[in-house]
């Protein structure tokens, strides 16, 4: 029986991934800050799901995830999914706390956890799937910090592949566009209406679409590595450059 560790299993992609992998016969460890939600998911998924209340900003707690007792210690797949974005306000008007929170979660926590789990992953010829974003490649107004963190995740994934040459460990940077989850509610500081408006009438991707993608990646033949994969809803595409004139 294989084991996946999913960060951010209390909502969105992570929650859908927990359901998908447990239904597929895996054990899943799910983390997040909202213990009540993890408890509910555990009640739904039963014994193959281990809920662990862990904050991505607590690097000591992340390191302890490398010391779980059997059968939870043999991790085959690390899904580095937990993450968030600050508001799209101009940088000087964005609270420092929100910025720091995003950098600590999307970058520092992700690196600390990956570092802690690498010996196990190497030992098991495992796999790492990191959540980057289209924001890593395509700039947009108000996206500097978020896009910056996701560009880090993308490059971290690629460079990690170099470190892991010959180990058999696979690493993928998943780079989605718009998917309707709690992402925009969190980004806007709880504005559900703004979130509904953003996704209205454009058929965004769903958490299930992403869970299906993670499942596909996990079940590829072991000789195959998808380095990066970018996906968008059909209704989302690109805008041109901004030109300022005198
Ligand atoms: P959601 O807001 O629905 O879920 C985010 C998850 O991350 C939650 O489970 C949340 O758990 C967890 N999380 C956030 N901060 C922390 C923290 N400090 N400690 C522990 N867990 C934390 O977002 P999505 O499912 O949409 O996003 C998942 C990932 O995909 C993120 O990295 C996001 O940047 C990325 N992404 C999302 C896109 C989208 O359009 N939705 C597109 C591209 C990438 P809790 O709050 O309980 O701690
Ligand atoms: C978030 C994707 O397109 O909403 O990572 O900025 S998008």
Give the residues across from 230 on adjacent strands: 175
Is there an atom of ligand 2 within 6 Å of 184 CB? no
Q: Nearest ligand to the C-alpha of residue 175? A: 1
pLDDT tens, position by position, 8-48? 999 999 999 999 999 999 999 999 999 999 999 999 999 99
What distance in angstroms lies between residue 111's CA and the mean position of ligand 2's atoms?
21
Is the CB of 117 within 6 Å of ligand 2? Answer: no
- DSSP state for residue 69 in the 8-state scheme: P
Using pLDDT thresholds of 50, 70 and 90, give the confidence band for residue 245. very high
Q: Is 178 close to ligand 2, i.e. is its CB under 6 Å away?
A: yes
Confidence (pTM): 0.98
Ligand 2 within 6 A of 210 CB? no
Residue among 6, 7, 13 to mutate when testing ligand 1 (max atoms within 8 A of CB): 13
Average pLDDT over residues 73-94: 98
In the prediction, which pLDDT does 25 show?
A: 98
Task: Provide the annotated active-site residues.
Answer: 146
Which positions ≥6 away from 233 have C-beta within 8 Å?
177, 178, 179, 202, 203, 204, 205
Spell out the domains of the chain, with CATH numbers in brackets.
3-231 (3.40.50.720)
C-beta neighbour count of 196 within 10 angstroms: 12
Q: Give yes or no for residue 133 CB within 6 A of ligand 2.
A: yes
pLDDT tens by residue, 174-227: 999 999 999 999 999 999 999 999 999 999 999 999 999 999 999 999 999 999
Please report the pLDDT score of residue 32 as a whole number: 98
SS3 call for 5: strand
Asked if residue 218 has its Cβ within 6 Å of ligand 2, the reply is no
Coil vs helix vs strand at 175: strand
Candidates 13, 86, 135: which one to mutate for ligand 2, based on the most atoms within 8 Å of Cβ?
A: 135
Tokens of 79: 């899904």
**Å from CA of 173 to ligand 2 middle:** 15
How far, in Å, is the centroid of ligand 1 from the Cα of 84? 5
Q: How many residues does the chain have?
A: 246
């Amino acid at each position: 029986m294989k084991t996946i560790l999913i960060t951010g299993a209390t909502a969105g992609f992570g929650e859908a991934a927990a359901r998908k992998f447990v239904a597929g016969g895996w054990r899943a460890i799910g983390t997040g800050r909202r213990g009540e939600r993890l408890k509910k998911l555990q009640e739904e998924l039963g014994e193959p799901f281990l809920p662990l209340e862990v904050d991505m900003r607590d690097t000591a707690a992340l390191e302890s995830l490398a010391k779980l007792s059997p059968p939870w210690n043999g991790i085959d797949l690390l899904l580095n999914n937990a993450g968030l974005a600050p508001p799209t306000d101009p940088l000087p008007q964005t609270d420092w706390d929100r910025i720091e929170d995003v950098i600590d979660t999307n970058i520092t926590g992700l690196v600390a956890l990956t570092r802690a789990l690498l010996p196990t992953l190497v030992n098991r010829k495992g796999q790492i799937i990191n959540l980057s974003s289209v924001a890593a490649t395509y700039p947009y107004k108000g996206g500097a910090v978020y896009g910056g963190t996701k560009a880090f995740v993308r490059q971290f994934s690629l460079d990690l592949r170099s470190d892991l040459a010959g180990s058999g460990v696979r690493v993928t940077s998943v780079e989605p566009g718009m998917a309707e989850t709690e992402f925009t509610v969190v980004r806007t500081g709880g504005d559900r209406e703004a979130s509904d408006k953003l996704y209205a009438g454009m058929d965004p991707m769903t958490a299930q679409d992403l869970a299906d993608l993670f499942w596909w990646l996990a079940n590829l033949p072991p000789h195959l590595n998808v380095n990066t994969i970018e996906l968008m809803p059909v209704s989302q595409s690109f805008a041109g450059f901004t030109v300022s004139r005198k």
